[in-house]
Amino acid sequence: NAGVTQTPKFRILKIGQSMTLQCAQDMNHNYMYWYRQDPGMGLKLIYYSVGAGITDKGEVPNGYNVSRSTTEDFPLRLELAAPSQTSVYFCATTPDRNSNQPQHFGDGTRLSIL
């Protein structure tokens, strides 16, 4: 059972570079989320998707873009990397927005921007 797979696990970028963080799930869940976690803090929502073709902004979307062309994949794009985007990024899924359903998280991508 793969669950939620995030790639890469680690990455170092230079300021102004771009990259795509990948998230893939094999649980056929409709809802997918991208969070970021800064040191010593809880997770903050960047973007989310309620199904293929539908995405929306979360609490901290500036500097990021997402797409959802399939149920399985939800990539997060950084167009112009900035030092403030140094963080750990987590992807999560859940079947729907029902409060009785747990969320499933990937192991994260640790991103440093120098």
**Size of residue set near another protein by CB under 8 A:** 29
Cβ closest to another protein, residue 6 vs residue 85? 6
Given 28, 42, 62, 114, the residue binding another protein (CB under 8 A): 42
Which is it for the CA torsion 103, 32, 61, 108, positive or negative?
positive
What's the alpha-carbon Rg for the chain, to the nearest Å? 13
Using the contact rule CB under 8 A, the part of the chain among 20-28, 42-50, 63-71, 75-83 near another protein is: 42-50
- Burial of 99: CB neighbours in 10 Å, binned 0-12, 13-18, 19+: exposed
By CB under 8 A, tell whether 98 contacts another protein: yes
